Chains A and B, each alone.
Chain A
Amino acid sequence: MEEFLNKLPTSVSKTELLRILQEFQDKYGYLDNDFIHELSKKIGIQPGKIFGIASFYSQFRFKPSGKYIVNLCSGVACHINSSENLINVFTKLTGLKDGETSADGKITLELVPCLGGCANSPVVKVNDKYYTKVTKADLLKIIQELK
């Protein structure tokens, strides 16, 4: 982390800040308390403010995530194609609610407002892999594979 911070300039614009946060998350998985505080000292923006800015964007995580991040879409198109059922099934089978990670550290559930595949909704994404027109049976299979 030190190395990461050393490279940064001492004053940054908001867009740059978002880029830095994104880069850190890509590298370390999530934005943790220590990082936000160290970053704050370096760039002179209060930690609470950094948290406020980051929390606006749903892509930022503040807790460690599992090996597999499962994105279930809760957007309008997916909702019409009963994504809510999928969400309920998922929660029933894994016990996970939005933002939670399984005890074995394998699976994190994150609901997202739209995955950009509305035409083939409902959409499910696991790490970088997309599944389209997902049925209940498909979802069961996906979960099986992850376990």
Chain B
Amino acid sequence: MEFTITINNKKIKVSNNEKILDVLRRIGINIPTLCNVPGLSPTGACRLCVVELNDTNELVPSCSTPVRVGMNISTHSNKVINARRVIVNLLLSNHPDNCLYCDKRSYCELHQIAENLNITDRSFPGEPKKSKSDRSSPGILREMSKCILCGRCVRICEEMLGISAIDIVNRGKNIEIETIFKKGLFYSNCIHCGLCIKYCPTGAIIEKSYVQNLIDKLNNSEKEKVIVISNSTIADISNFYGIKKFTDCRNNIVGALKDIGFDKVFTLSPGNEIFIYENAVKILNHIKDKSNNTLIVTDCPAAKKYVKSELSELSPLLTSIPSPQQILAKFFKKSDDSNVFMTVVTPCVANKYEAVQSSNTTKGVPDIDIVISSNELLKLFNTYGIEFPYSRKQIPDNPSNSDTSAGPLFETKGGISETLIRELLYQNQKSYPKKLFEIKNDKNFIEFSFVLNNQQFKIASIHGISSLKEKVEDILSGKYLFVELRLCENACIDGCVQLRDDDPDKFKKIKKLILDYDETNNSDTASKNPFIKAYKNNNLKQK
């Protein structure tokens, strides 16, 4: 049913299942919110989104109040603004106020809201909360003195993921966000996906930063300094600085990193290509053996951890090829006493967790010495005063100098399927159509059929935990040859620690940059990189 209501003296058409906040957002009226997360059920906890109902002068939270016939609303009346100011003042009354040293800084929503409401003084004197932090996770830092108990992280972890690694514990003035037995994220069932970092409005949950450690090493280590940059990072920086061509930005970054002091700079592509190649071999053998199981292909450490601990019936189906980062780590650090100091730049927090898993360490030391995020790479550039486009361009070192476009494509949504099917067809019959399936399709679940050796196969591309949960039966029944699985709904290019940006459509632009690169490139499947050929021959010799 549709009807009209009055908002700030204007008649607005609404439909009866809308919440007031939905309408305000739709017509471009900006009001502050803290506890609300689009897509999740509203809790009405923070009350910052209040609006005034003019007939009764009542204040109601717009995020959880549905529109009603005859409503007459003011969104910025004096009463409303004063109420919001009181709420924010209360939230700030015991805030630690060490904002200058907080990683969130200008991106803090609380800070922004306080600024917009002209709050310049502490009006309710309170005891600033004492620092209490959880540093157990290698990628995530929780500093609970900065928590305003909005509950976003708890609801993301519960409603979006079904994990509940963190919850609201205790009550009254002891209430806090905690992990089971308060032991810390590392000792809980947290999958280190980092979504809570993305959603926390304050500096209470942030990524653990390793930039300064990296800078210290750059200046003090005698080892050969090697850095591997994910293609998602390159594309993100490219978009950030408005550089139109993926390869231009890539070469700019390589030049800049060499100037900073890295001896060798690589893209993640060779790792992606080996990953694709190895999985293709596995799948072709799987077909030869006439196995009917569905294989699960994923490079996502968070997805792997989730499958192993929450859907253990699926875990024998994982192809268990190491992730591209780890493949390269083994490649660059052939011997135990390797003289290589290796850094990886990634859009993903879970890679920091993956790097410390015992299978990825040698004598207790992680094979990848330091993992930093795209965000941290930008900080590194800022520290050295580097801006893009950069004056020096260089191509990445061998084997990244002969990258195929399958490397970057792999990191996009549907990219595992697209690049893997290309490679299967290429290995089998040397030819394949350029665009296999609607990779531009943004759905979290896509089914696709293709023909290999006159046999028809079905595959599925699955993103996000809720789509995975819906398909468990199908996967167990062996309906698909393989499924692509990633936990982030827009795949790695939209990872939680990409550059901070308010643009919700950013990932589309990043994807376009990569698709453009792929379209104009003939070297577009893993095996076309001469390095893969060498790798293949080497592997055969060893066997």
Given A33-B181, A47-B189, do A52 and B165 touch, yes or no (CB 8 Å)?
Answer: no
Proximity string of chain B (171-188) to chain A, C-beta cutoff 8 Å, 1 when within and 0 when not: 100000011110000001
Whether A46 sits at the interface, judged by CB under 8 Å, is: yes
- Nearest CB on A from B156, distance (A): 13
Kindly identify, within residues 153 to 201 of chain B, every residue whose CB is under 8 Å from any CB belonging to chain A.
Answer: 158, 162-171, 178-181, 188-189
Proximity string of chain B (527-539) to chain A, C-beta cutoff 8 Å, 1 when within and 0 when not: 0000000000000
CB-defined contacts of A33 to chain B, threshold 8 Å: 180-181
Q: How far is the CA of A15 from the CA of B261 in the complex (A)?
A: 62
Q: How far is the CA of A36 from the CA of B169 in the complex (A)?
A: 15
B180 in contact with A51 (CB, 8 Å): yes
A51 in contact with B158 (CB, 8 Å): no
Interface centre among A49, A56, A62 (most CB of B within 10 A): A49
Interface class of chain A by DSSP: helix
Proximity string of chain A (43-82) to chain B, C-beta cutoff 8 Å, 1 when within and 0 when not: 0001111011101100000100000000000000000000
- Nearest CB on A from B49, distance (A): 25
B170 in contact with A48 (CB, 8 Å): no
How many residue pairs link A and B with beta carbons under 8 A? The number is 43
A52 in contact with B189 (CB, 8 Å): no
CB-defined contacts of A52 to chain B, threshold 8 Å: 164, 167-169, 178
User: Chain A interface residue count: which class?
Assistant: 10 to 19
Given A33-B181, A56-B171, A62-B181, do A48 and B162 touch, yes or no (CB 8 Å)?
Answer: no
- Nearest CB on B from A94, distance (A): 23
Interface centre among A33, A53, A55, A56 (most CB of B within 10 A): A55
A48 in contact with B166 (CB, 8 Å): yes
- Nearest CB on A from B222, distance (A): 45
Q: How far is the CA of A51 from the CA of B154 in the complex (A)?
A: 13
A49 in contact with B181 (CB, 8 Å): no
B179 in contact with A48 (CB, 8 Å): yes
Q: How far is the CA of A49 from the CA of B189 in the complex (A)?
A: 11
Q: How far is the CA of A36 from the CA of B180 in the complex (A)?
A: 9
- Nearest CB on B from A110, distance (A): 14
Q: How far is the CA of A56 from the CA of B171 in the complex (A)?
A: 5
B170 in contact with A47 (CB, 8 Å): no
Closest residue of chain A to B190 (Cβ to Cβ) is A48
CB-defined contacts of A55 to chain B, threshold 8 Å: 169-170, 178
Q: How far is the CA of A53 from the CA of B165 in the complex (A)?
A: 13
- Nearest CB on B from A35, distance (A): 12
Q: How far is the CA of A36 from the CA of B189 in the complex (A)?
A: 13
Given A46-B189, A51-B181, do A56 and B164 touch, yes or no (CB 8 Å)?
Answer: no
A48 in contact with B171 (CB, 8 Å): no
Interface centre among B162, B180, B181 (most CB of A within 10 A): B180
Proximity string of chain A (17-59) to chain B, C-beta cutoff 8 Å, 1 when within and 0 when not: 0000000000000000100100000000011110111011000
- Nearest CB on B from A78, distance (A): 17
Point out the residue from B164, B170, B171 that lies within 8 Å of A49, measured CB to CB: B164
Q: How far is the CA of A46 from the CA of B181 in the complex (A)?
A: 13
Point out the residue from B164, B169, B171, B178 that lies within 8 Å of A46, measured CB to CB: B164
Q: How far is the CA of A147 from the CA of B165 in the complex (A)?
A: 41
Closest residue of chain B to A113 (Cβ to Cβ) is B172
Closest residue of chain A to B177 (Cβ to Cβ) is A52
A47 in contact with B180 (CB, 8 Å): yes
Closest residue of chain A to B176 (Cβ to Cβ) is A55
Closest residue of chain B to A31 (Cβ to Cβ) is B181
Q: How far is the CA of A36 from the CA of B165 in the complex (A)?
A: 13
- Residues of B in contact with A (beta carbons under 8 Å apart): 158, 162-171, 178-181, 188-189
8 of the cross-chain contacts (CB-CB < 8 Å) are: A33-B180, A36-B180, A47-B164, A48-B164, A49-B167, A52-B167, A55-B170, A56-B171
- Residues of A in contact with B (beta carbons under 8 Å apart): 33, 36, 46-49, 51-53, 55-56, 62
Across the A-B interface, the 6 shortest Cβ-Cβ residue pairs: A52-B167, A46-B164, A55-B169, A49-B164, A48-B164, A51-B180
Beyond A51-B178, A62-B181, 14 extra complex contacts between A and B, CB < 8 Å: A33-B181, A46-B162, A47-B164, A47-B180, A48-B167, A48-B179, A48-B189, A49-B158, A51-B180, A52-B167, A52-B168, A52-B178, A55-B169, A55-B178
